[in-house]
Structure 1
Amino acid sequence: MAQYPQWSYSQSRANMFDECLRKYYYHYYGAHNGWKTDQADDMTVRLYRLKQLSNLYLVFGDLVHRMCESAVRSRDEGRERPRVPFLEQTMRKLLNEAYLQSMDAEQWRQDPKNRVMLSEMYYGDDTLQERIGTIKERITACVNSLYDTLTWEDLARASTQILEIEKWDTMMLHDTRVYVKMDLLYRRGNGNIVIVDWKTGKEEDFSDQLLLYAAYVREHYRVPLEQIELRVEYLLNGTYKQYAATQEDLARAEEKVGRYIEEMKSCVADEYYNRPKDISFFTPMPSRRACRDCNFREVCSERVM
């Protein structure tokens, strides 16, 4: 087995790097090989299990993306689109299954990668019932928004060609493999390619992520930036934002990725093997917001209560 994880970059990795260096270490280095329960030490196995913890908001976000994927694939395969009541009922059923799985901690410990354990239940958080109520309301809102989106209006046209649905891919930037996964990519009748990002929460700035997607699409599909449309669909409130990237935008985004890569590589003792420096180098950055939902609070003595 590889002693250290393979080096790569993603927007989610950059987000965690900004949030807390200790969490970044646990997630990307400390947990590596923790699935090898017969070979790894106890702490590595423990960190790997904690890395697999989910939470209600993550489960909800995943269910919404699966709902959108199911509806889009039905359209792509010429089938009737799933009815709204069916989508809502299915999401509630899967949310309940996640809750029930989380009640069996021993089964989760045996197979943490393939079973769900909600961090709210694992840590006995008092926010559990309140969050369940919030998620149930959001399910209804998101399901009812899907078929009213600008994206679905495009998909209803016969001239729209679906190119990618929830597909992982990579591109090279600064000699680094960069991972991208677009929720939906399609070509409109006018030849423009539309990148769609489904969001289930409040409106935020996702421009860095979208610009990386635009760079990938330009390179992979050999189209000029003028033919690439970036769109965020906020399903919770039924709104959207649309962007048009310029060459200057992409240059700034790629430069920013380069700075992240440089900073991340400053945390490794050996770039060839991606061997990290000592854990003490990864300074904890405690805050009430970050520590409240951190998967690794069980092992971190620096957490804020």
Structure 2
Amino acid sequence: MFEIKPFPELSWSVSRHKTLMDCPRKYAYDYYVSHNGWLRDADSLARHTYRLKKITNLEIHFGSLVHDVIYHVIQDYLKTDRIPSENALIERIRNQLNQGFIESTKKEHLWHDKPNRYTMLHEIYYSQHQQLPKEKIEKIKSRLDAAIVHFFKSRTFSDIQKKEKMQFIESEKFRFMTVGDVKIYVVMDFLYRDLKSDKWIIVDWKTGKASSEDRNQLALYALYVKQRFNIESLDQIVIRNEYLLEGTHQEYKLNEADLTNVQNLFGMSIQEMMKYLDDISKNQPMDLEHFPQYQEERKCSRCNYQELCFG
């Protein structure tokens, strides 16, 4: 049974760590001030912060739609052997993008009441013109075509079609691992096992440019898979980024130092998070003013909480 608690559970993920490093004030809004903001009887600040938390931007919304479509294409293929056409998928995502724009501009009242069910684009919410920048629209159009074409040509999709040689792990089987009393959330895009080579392949679909953080994120996934499935050697694990814009993939061979580094990152990050707690046992945060507000024009202009920070 769902239990309403005054404070959220302390957990860890790569995205949570990154948020704290980028701006502690944004971290406070994301993980504490917005807590319980979905409840009808929540205080006005919690509800408003939760609403702002649910704002997305065009690039993130696009990436989410592509990931969702890829997931369903793979699941459907594994059950039926059917492969939809590129045009059908492009049209599906294009319609969803258009729907997101309509919800942001003409159905703001619905998003206001149920922000977890309707889309609000950052470019619309913080604009006086209710229009998307033309250059962004053109960029997303070109990304859409490239992402779908490259998905079908990807190394991973090629492997998926060799079903008799592969074992596919259901996504419901990986959610989090626990270190001490802290849950570490693991959100892998895809995991399968090559039965012939006895390799476990972890896949992360990327709809943006390559980042220096990509390897660390995959190392965390590898640590989870090694523990969850009792894999003896790291040589049995392959981590792969599929870069859908460029149509390339990058594979890494991990060693124990990689896993040690990600464990050290987790340890240092949790210690930093605990510095902002009044009561560690309850995960009760300090007052908001104790969370520094890092002001950097580029980051602040993209932040969901502009109006809370600057009015």
Q: TM-score range by the shorter chain?
A: over 0.9
State the alpha-carbon separation in 2 of the partners of residues 92 and 154 from structure 1: 27
CA deviation string 1:72-96 (max 9, x = no partner): 1122113211211111110101111
Q: 2:278 aligns with which of 247, 269, 272?
A: 269
Matched, 1:138 2:146: no
Matched, 1:208 2:210: no
Q: 1:257 aligns with which of 245, 253, 266?
A: 266
Alignment partner, residue 102 of structure 1: 104
For 1:298, what is the secondary structure of its paired residue?
helix
How is 1:1-305 mapped onto 2 (pairs within 5 angstroms)?
A: 1-38=4-41, 40-103=42-105, 104-124=107-127, 128-157=133-162, 158-165=164-171, 169-188=175-194, 189-205=196-212, 206-223=214-231, 224-301=233-310
Q: Whose helix fraction is larger, Structure 1's or Structure 2's? A: 2
CA deviation string 1:258-277 (max 9, x = no partner): 00001001111101110001
- Taking only the aligned residue pairs, the percentage that are identical comes to 36
Q: CA deviation at 1:59?
A: 0.9
Q: Runs of 5+ in structure 2 lacking a partner?
A: none
- Kindly tell me: are residues 167 and 239 of structure 1, through their superposed partners in 2, closer, same or farther at Cα, counting changes over 3 Å? farther
State the alpha-carbon separation in 1 of the partners of residues 171 and 44 from structure 2: 38
Q: CA deviation at 1:127?
A: 5.7
State the alpha-carbon separation in 2 of the partners of residues 207 and 175 from structure 1: 26
Report the AA paired with residue 116 of structure 1: T
For 2:63, what is the secondary structure of its paired residue?
helix
The number of residues matched between the two structures is 301
Q: CA deviation at 1:130?
A: 2.2
State the alpha-carbon separation in 2 of the partners of residues 97 and 34 from structure 1: 25
State the alpha-carbon separation in 1 of the partners of residues 286 and 7 from structure 2: 12
For 1:22, what is the secondary structure of its paired residue?
helix
- What's the TM-score, normalizing by structure 1? 0.95
- What's the TM-score, normalizing by structure 2? 0.93
State the alpha-carbon separation in 2 of the partners of residues 242 and 190 from structure 1: 16
State the alpha-carbon separation in 2 of the partners of residues 64 and 167 from structure 1: 22
Q: Structure 1 stretches (4+) deviating beyond 6 angstroms?
A: none
State the alpha-carbon separation in 2 of the partners of residues 106 and 81 from structure 1: 38
Provide the alpha-carbon RMSD of the alignment.
Answer: 1.5
Q: Runs of 5+ in structure 1 lacking a partner?
A: none
Q: CA deviation at 1:176?
A: 1.2
